[in-house]
Structure 1
Amino acid sequence: MVEVGALRALRSVAALGTLARAAEELGYTASAVSQQIKKLERQIGVPVLVPAGRGVVLTPAGQAVVDSAPEVFQALERCAEAARSVAEGEPRGLLRVVAFSTAIRGLLAPAMSRLSKRCPGLRVHVEERDPDDALHSVDAGTADLALVHDADGLPAPLPPSLTQRHLHTDVGDLVVGRAHRLARLDRPLTAGDLAGHAWVTSPPGTVCHQWFRRLVADVPEEPDVRHLVDDFATQLSLVASGEVVALIPRLARPPLSEGLVSKVLRRPPQREVHAAWRRSADASPAVQAVVAELGPLLRAEGSGGLP
């Protein structure tokens, strides 16, 4: 009979391309992953991997095994979840959550205290991952719940083994110094209002830099970008100097000091945030408890609230 650990190892190698990367994800050594693959080959009687450059690729038989793996994992997880639901009916144990950094800051962190009081038997482990990596981790079974966002308006591809629920619409605001002339405008800011100001922005290649480029697309002259900084607290420190303004997502924004003001934009950039988990974990008390705990926070502080 095929062992679940060996099957999980092959699936991770297939997704990541090397034994070393699969070992890092699974928390094993590369040698241990190699032994798992060799054990699987002995169990099914045919090779499942062949060398390809510095990595490996699946044989046709290996691909057939990987294609069948989700059904195996889902069946096993349904058994476990059914047993836990019947026996306990309450969230217990460890829930592994993977999320992008601003979701951790703006959604998970504010909910952790309430979740701890409501579910004392549940321990939540949080790890920062980009959306594509987060979805892969949940699909591969190395994480239980992912918080992901769309990329420039396009959602990350969702593996068929996963389901998702919309959680939040994250919106960008302009942050300026309290003495800045834009702070005195008592209305949403337009593209015309943004002309002629110096900026600090996130570096190119980030979602927030894409937001910035979209925001200033209708500004006649090329924007004056003075600083490229990935950390939002550091951006706010530069804004406090009075030299620059910044576009900051609400989820990512630290508390503003007395010298700073956030201004609503007439056409703000935005992104959708979803929770994703394996369909076989639909009945998981732990998954449902965490997703439900985000609900009151989002109703109180969603995109329709004050910036």
Structure 2
Amino acid sequence: MIDVGALRALRSVAALGTVAQAAEELGYTASAVSQQIKRLEKQLGLAVLAPAGRKVVLTPAGQVIVDAAPEVFQALERCVAAAQSVSHGTPRGTLRVVAFSTAIRGLLAPAVAGLMTRHPDVHVRIVEQDPDQALHSVDAGTADLAVVHDADELPTPLPSSLTQRLLHTDVGDVVMHRTHPLAAGDSPLTGPDLAGHAWVTSPHGTVCHQWFRRLVADVPEEPDVRHLIDDFSTQLSLVASGEVIALIPRLARPPLGEGLICRQLRRQPKREVHAAWRRSADASPALQALLSELSGRTETAAARCEGGTEAPSGA
């Protein structure tokens, strides 16, 4: 009988290329992963890995084992979910969730609070990860649920073992101090409206920086970017000085307070936020309970920006 832990270790090594990276993902030492692989080779009577420079590659036998591994893990997960469902469908156990930072703030944190109230036997463990890494973690079995966003309006490729649900469509608004010249209007802003104003933006390579570049694409002169800051709370502290304005997703935005307002954009930048999980875990009562909480929170997940002012919390 093949050891399931060893099979998971082999799959992780195959995906990441080194024993050390697989050990980090699985939470083991490199020595422990090596021992698991050796135990698997002893059980099979075949080599499953071969050295390739500083990395390792699968042997033909190892490739066959890895190709069959998803069916094994899915069958085991269905067994667990079925056993949990038999117990009157009561949600219980630990859910490992991976998500990007603003989804943790705007969606997961309030959902987990509601889950703890309604289902105290469910425990959630959250790790911040970018979408690509998050989907890999769920596919590899080291996480149970991923909350991800699309990339530059293109869906993140989904492994065939996973399914997903749309949770939220996030949009961006321009935030400024109440004394800023743009604060006096109430109609949606256009790119030319923003010409000549100083900015704090998210760093290059982020979704929000891509939003910003598209927003100012029609402005003849290069925008005056004073600061590149990844943390949105820090961006807002700079906006509060009155020197700069910022483009901030609603999902990422804490309450603005008295000194700041937001203005809608005529062409609102958008991104879709999805929950993704393994198809074999569909019957898990704990997973379905968390998904229900997440779906119930999306209507009030982010502050709204209407008519130049921010609506009250929960509106």
Same fold (TM over 0.5): yes
* Paired position in structure 1 for 2:279: 279
Count of aligned pairs between the two proteins: 307
Structure 1 unpaired stretches of 5+: none
Contact 2:255 2:303 (C-alpha < 8 Å) held by counterparts: no
* Paired position in structure 1 for 2:313: none
* Paired position in structure 2 for 1:51: 51
Contact 1:174 1:265 (C-alpha < 8 Å) held by counterparts: yes
Contact 2:166 2:274 (C-alpha < 8 Å) held by counterparts: yes
Q: Does 2:60 match 1:60? A: yes
* Paired position in structure 1 for 2:98: 98
Contact 2:202 2:208 (C-alpha < 8 Å) held by counterparts: yes
The 5 Å alignment of 1:1-307 reads: 1-301=1-301
Return closer, same or farther for 1:219/1:169 CA change in 2, 3 Å cut-off.
same
- Please state how far the C-alpha of 1:146 moved relative to its aligned partner: 0.4
- Please state how far the C-alpha of 1:8 moved relative to its aligned partner: 0.2
Secondary structure of the residue aligned to 1:89 is coil
- Between the aligned partners of 2:18 and 2:82, the Cα distance in structure 1 is 35
- Residue-by-residue CA offset, 1:177-227 (whole Å, 9 max, x unaligned): 101111111111111111110000011111111111111111121100011
Contact 2:262 2:305 (C-alpha < 8 Å) held by counterparts: no
Return closer, same or farther for 1:239/1:305 CA change in 2, 3 Å cut-off.
closer
- Residue-by-residue CA offset, 1:145-175 (whole Å, 9 max, x unaligned): 0000111111111111100001101111100
- Residue-by-residue CA offset, 1:18-57 (whole Å, 9 max, x unaligned): 1011101111100000011111111112111111121111
Contact 1:103 1:251 (C-alpha < 8 Å) held by counterparts: yes
- Between the aligned partners of 2:134 and 2:301, the Cα distance in structure 1 is 25
Secondary structure of the residue aligned to 2:255 is coil
Specify the code of the residue in structure 2 equivalent to 1:218. Answer: D
- Please state how far the C-alpha of 1:303 moved relative to its aligned partner: 9.2
Secondary structure of the residue aligned to 2:51 is strand
Secondary structure of the residue aligned to 1:170 is strand
Cα RMSD for the two superposed structures = 1.4
- Between the aligned partners of 1:153 and 1:65, the Cα distance in structure 2 is 36
- Please state how far the C-alpha of 1:112 moved relative to its aligned partner: 2.0
- Please state how far the C-alpha of 1:300 moved relative to its aligned partner: 3.5
**Over 2 Å off, 4+ runs:** 299-307
Secondary structure of the residue aligned to 1:182 is helix
- Between the aligned partners of 2:25 and 2:51, the Cα distance in structure 1 is 20
- Please state how far the C-alpha of 1:109 moved relative to its aligned partner: 0.9
Specify the code of the residue in structure 2 equivalent to 1:293. Answer: E
- Between the aligned partners of 1:154 and 1:304, the Cα distance in structure 2 is 24
Secondary structure of the residue aligned to 1:242 is coil
Secondary structure of the residue aligned to 1:268 is coil
- Between the aligned partners of 1:220 and 1:156, the Cα distance in structure 2 is 32
- Between the aligned partners of 1:302 and 1:292, the Cα distance in structure 2 is 18
TM-score normalized by the length of structure 1: 0.97
Specify the code of the residue in structure 2 equivalent to 1:290. Answer: L
